Amino acid sequence: MEQSFVAQIWPQLVWPLIRITFFISIGLIIANCIESLNWTNRLAALARPLIKMGRLSPITGASFSVAFFSGVSANSMLAEAYDAKKITQSELILANLFNSLPRFFLHLPTVFFLTVPLIKEAAVIYVGLTFAAALIQTFLVVFSGRLILPISTEPIIIKTSDKGKPSFKEVTAKSLKRLKKRMLKLLKFMIPVYVLFFLLNWYGLFAKLEELIAAKAWFLNWLSPQSLGIVILHVTAEFSAGLAAASVLLAENSLSVREVVLALLVGNILAAPIRALRHQLPYYTGIYNPGLALQLVTISQFARGFCVIVVAICYYFFTRQ
């Protein structure tokens, strides 16, 4: 057992730490370059109508735009702005929720091309419903921002240097200097958290949580036994395992498209919090301080879960015969 434990240190602890540190570093460099080159307002223009409606700042708009191709860069930008007191904690929370729509599109190709070959028509419906949930969350953020955030009395202007546009060398030097300072602070929190979660995973805490959810899922008795099998696989294994089971059951006509879609939505709701705790929280701890990271992940999961539940309930009743 000891040899097995040692063998898992590289693939499960050291390599993930190296990988996430690399991507956080790239994200911080991109965020710093965007700020140094004064691109924030230009990027924010892409989401200007929603930003204006939600009383959000150009920095949030820029983060929203950047999140379409890099979640790490988007979060790094928000963390930098929050630390510099350019945005409040309330806006930081809303901005993190606001970025759910870009995150959806960021993972859409993988999800779509994984699901379509296996469950065909059900894949289109499932992806469409999760997209609807992301849209609902986006509009809830805009509505909440309009209620919570103060009206800006003057536009946020990012001042440029009197010397004009900075050179590539100046931008790079500034970004690397800020990166070094911030990475030392990030690693101080991220490494202990990763080690802790590695040990918790090794000693089976997450597996026990997953088994507990699967065993105590009395509230899912409205699902057929075959559908419940998809949910359990979704929670205890991986999304692909649930899809494989759904594919077989669809091919055998044991389940309808509607039952498969509902089972996948329920599995999504139940599995996401555990996976967020296992993967998203350590990653967020590398960008935000631990307390704030936990708060952001918790609020994000509650909001996402609520929106998926709303969509699932609507689909259940509108397709009921």
Tell me the per-residue pLDDT of 145-183, one tens digit each, with 9 for 90 and over: 999 998 765 454 333 344 456 666 766 776 777 677 667
The pLDDT of residue 286 is: 79
pTM of this structure: 0.71
Of 107, 105, 52, 43, the residue nearest 78 (C-alpha):
43
Count structural domains, the chain: 1
220-249 pLDDT per residue, tens: 666 666 677 777 766 665 676 777 778 877
Q: Which two tokens stand for residue 100?
A: 């759910």
The pLDDT of residue 35 is: 60
Q: How far apart are CA 18 and CA 82, in angstroms?
A: 26
36-75 pLDDT per residue, tens: 665 555 555 667 888 888 998 888 888 888 887 778 888 9
With a cut of 60, say whether residue 123 has pLDDT above it.
yes
One-letter amino acid of 39? W
The domain in which residue 188 lies consists of 2-318
Angle at which helices 239-251 and 257-275 cross, to 10° = 170
